[in-house]
Amino acid sequence: RKEVEQDPGPFNVPEGATVAFNCTYSNSASQSFFWYRQDCRKEPKLLMSVYSSGNEDGRFTAQLNRASQYISLLIRDSKLSDSATYLCVVLQDSGGGADGLTFGKGTHLIIQP
Amino acid sequence: DAGVTQSPTHLIKTRGQHVTLRCSPISGHKSVSWYQQVLGQGPQFIFQYYEKEERGRGNFPDRFSARQFPNYSSELNVNALLLGDSALYLCASSLGRNSYEQYFGPGTRLTVT
């Protein structure tokens, strides 16, 4: 079983719609969780950290369910500029990121006009 | 403020050669991590360095090595290059040993022929 699993998509969504991605992780000792966004042939950019209580940043909402070991990302009122690959990222760590970030393969989102 | 910088941006090498990639972290950041991203996959963790010491290592062969300098910049070295080493090599910096949010540079695209 892969450590971090995501549906690769692509998700084709009309502009203005709401879209949700889920991601599951296998290591119950995982401590920190993130969503990164990656545009074609560019570096990943931190979109948001994911907290147990859930957190929101503008049109983006992230949730963590530790019991079921999944993380979600909700994008409301999607824009053309939201088209990108969204990477689910988990840190299972003994201290200070020494185990590195574990990335899923990413979910490809295409917002259509 | 300057972000993470990497050099060179692109590189073409032949099998058996070695390569050195360079990274300068965000000013004030003391931790540098290296990742390899093959097309269609998420980044894979190679190394983490903090205060010039290796703090973590991913599942990569001994042909891969790295170091961190007193100014916190870092080099990744790969010996005896294989075709399968062709990838985007990403450097990420974070504030300190217990800071989990990592910020990526634009990467070095290595092609091995």
Whole-number average pLDDT of chain A: 91
Residues of chain B positioned with their CB less than 8 A from the CB of A49:
100-101
CB contact under 8 A, B43 and A101: yes
Interface membership of A58 toward B (CB under 8 Å): no
Q: How many interface pairs between A and B have CB atoms less than 8 angstroms apart?
A: 73
Q: How confident is the model at residue A95 (pLDDT cuts 50, 70, 90)?
A: low
**Distances in whole angstroms, Cα of residue B76 to Cα of each of A1, A32, B108:** 30, 26, 11
pLDDT band at B99 (very low <50, low <70, confident <90, very high): low
Question: What pLDDT, on a 0 to 100 scale, did the predictor assign at position A44?
Answer: 96
| Nearest CA-CA partner of B67 in B26, B98, B21 | B21
**Contact call for B100 and A93, based on CB within 8 A:** yes
Task: Determine the pLDDT at residue A29.
Answer: 81
Per DSSP, the three-state class of B63 is: coil
Burial class (CB in 10 A: 0-12, 13-18, 19+), B70: exposed
pLDDT band at A94 (very low <50, low <70, confident <90, very high): low
What CA–CA distance (Å, rounded) separates A37 from A44? Answer: 6
Q: What three-state secondary structure class fits A82?
A: helix
Give the span between the Cα atoms of A109 and A58, in whole angstroms: 18
Q: Tell whether B108 lies on the interface with A, counting CB pairs under 8 A.
A: no
- B11 CB contacts (<8 Å, ≥6 apart)? B19, B21, B108, B109, B110, B111
Measured in angstroms, the CA of A82 and the nearest CA of chain B are apart by 19
Band (pLDDT 50/70/90 cuts) for residue A65 is very high
Taking CB atoms and an 8 Å limit, are B56 and A91 in contact across chains? no
